[in-house]
A = this chain, B = another copy of it.
Amino acid sequence: MNINLKNLIIIRDQDGFSNFIQFPFFRKSFCFRRLSYLENKFQLHVLLNELRELHEQKGVSHRDFYNIRKVDTHIHAASSMNQKHLLRFIKKKIKKEADSVVLEIAGEKVTMKEVFKRMGIDSYDLSVDVLDVHADRNTFHRFDKFNTKYNPVGESNLREIFIKTDNFVGGKYFAEVLKEVLSDLEDSKYQHAEPRLSIYGRSKKEWDNLAKWALTHDVWSPNARWLIQIPRLYDVYRSKNMVKNFDDMLDNLFTPLFEVTNDPSSHPELHLFLQQVSGIDSVDDESKHEFVHFDRSTPCPPQYCDLENPPYNYYLFYMYANICALNAFRRARGLNTFALRPHCGEAGHVSHLLTGYLTSESISHGILLRKVPVLQYLYYLTQIGIAMSPLSNNSLFISYQRNPLPEYLQKGLNVSLSTDDPLQFHYTKEALMEEYSIAAQVWKLSSCDMCELARNSVMQSGFEDKVKIHWLGPHYKEEGVLGNDIHRTNVPDIRVSYRHEALVDELNNLFRVQSTLKL
């Protein structure tokens, strides 16, 4: 039963994006009631079956929460190490590479020693407090302050030196520290990650440079697949005349990808690098005011030369359109494709979630779905993946206790747990386990809940089929119990079967009502 309700709705939608909510029964109250029903039904399921679920888990040899596969579905490479790790790394480099030239400021070459001398601090002075990269009480509802926390010691120079791929040292230090993170992942064996690396769209060379960086420094791990994050910064480049219009930016972003797909030998390193890339993310502060509206009157990209940033939906639509075409091309050539997995519904207007629904394979955050029952119900029905990071939200947009994750999980939305920025949020060496631990404790999750979250994370991730088969079982794509192998996932069949039946019930219910109404 592989009905794609998403398409069904898009087909019916002739006049923009929001028409489908005119389905007679897709009203706010209807969806709210169905969601409440799902939540209550799940609570009933748990009350009746909790001990059976546990019993099923105990019946599986060797397998437990610690040795099932978990993927950190949303993590930024630049903040994938924790603060103590970055501090140690920087201290080591100050000691061992004091005389290396690391920057060029106004034509003058500056050594590592010199950089820190100019800041007036030496290696011994440095502490986690001085580094000051941890989100604190002052970042709540201040995405701008949060963004500046990426600058160690408040110095953008240090960010440039240590956590950029394209700098004077060819991204050497970033590669080194990232390889330490990847090596820790490999040691953990069962933990995996999908770190985001940045492409900005200021020039067509960015892709080649990034690929060259990855290959030169051999930044690669069986435990990781890359996502490419594209910040929505057209207005910045436009004001600096780096691009003339929005089409320039799209051109910089996508032309190299079409070229390398057409002829791998045109960008041989990029061709190799892309085999490790599984998707594309759109990132930035969603709460920024959007001055431009996206409707019929909005200029097409070649005509879009406004100084103001286009809205979120405009970005996402053109990324979606390009990725669709690109994927069709790549598929035809037998190459891997890219999923669009944007940040969506973290803040700002709820219409972002609508666009995410229409364009994306999965989204990151989605906390605003709590305010939009219609969309929440659609995300449920279509089981779009939502990579949630409650600790990140706790520092930025919604306190931990109010995070909707446990509610989504009860209703049966396809949610996973991710860390977002261990540098800014986490304290221990095991950021993902810390994230799971806090969720388990604060929300009193059962072992079964946790294993379900972990299984969702693997499903949502961009690891290849053969890897997922190894981790989840050969039939993982089948629906319901058929697709579950408790010996690998530690998720009881009772739970999987409950989820499947609940979803089928909802869909049946909908189609029955629809046919009654003779739509």
Contact = CB atoms under 8 A, between A and B. Distances in A.
A437 interface: yes
Contacts of A58: 127, 129-130, 132
A425 interface: yes
Contact of A127 (B61, B84, B125, B391): B61
A447 interface: yes
A134 B447 CA distance: 10
A64 B127 contact: yes
A400 interface: yes
A444 interface: yes
Interface stretch (A203-211, A254-262, A428-436): A428-436
A61 B490 CA distance: 47
Contact of A62 (B124, B394, B428): B124
B430 A127 contact: no
A87 B425 CA distance: 30
A453 to B, nearest CB: 13
A129 B447 CA distance: 8
Interface in A120-178: 124-130, 132, 134, 136-137
Contact of A490 (B84, B129, B401, B425): B129
Contacts of A128: 64-66, 447
A54 interface: yes
A64 B434 contact: no
A127 B429 contact: no
Given A427-B433, A433-B427, A62 B438 contact: no
Nearest to A66: B84
A446 B135 CA distance: 10
B400 A127 contact: no
Interface of A is mostly: helix
A441 B65 contact: no
A490 B130 CA distance: 12
Copies in the complex: 2
Contacts of A127: 58, 60-64, 67
Interface string A371-406: 000000000000000000001001000001100000
A126 B66 contact: no
Contacts of A57: 129
A86 to B, nearest CB: 12
Contacts of A66: 84, 128
Contacts of A438: 437-438, 441-442
Contacts of A238: none
B447 A437 contact: no
Contacts of A427: 433-434, 436-437, 440
B129 A444 contact: no
Interface string A37-81: 000000000000010001001101111111100000000000000
A441 B129 contact: no
Contact of A394 (B63, B429, B436, B441): B441
A63 to B, nearest CB: 6
A441 B60 contact: no
Most buried by B among A65, A433, A437: A437
A499 interface: no
Nearest to A57: B129
20 contacts: A58-B129, A61-B124, A61-B125, A62-B126, A63-B129, A64-B128, A134-B447, A137-B446, A401-B401, A401-B442, A425-B441, A426-B437, A427-B436, A427-B440, A428-B429, A434-B434, A437-B438, A438-B438, A438-B441, A442-B442
Interface of A: 50, 54, 57-58, 60-67, 84, 87, 124-130, 132, 134, 136-137, 391, 394, 400-401, 425-430, 433-434, 436-438, 440-442, 444, 446-447, 490
Given A61-B124, A434-B437, A442-B442, 19 more contacts: A57-B129, A58-B129, A62-B127, A64-B127, A67-B127, A129-B447, A129-B490, A137-B444, A137-B446, A394-B441, A401-B401, A425-B441, A427-B436, A427-B437, A428-B429, A428-B434, A429-B429, A434-B434, A438-B438
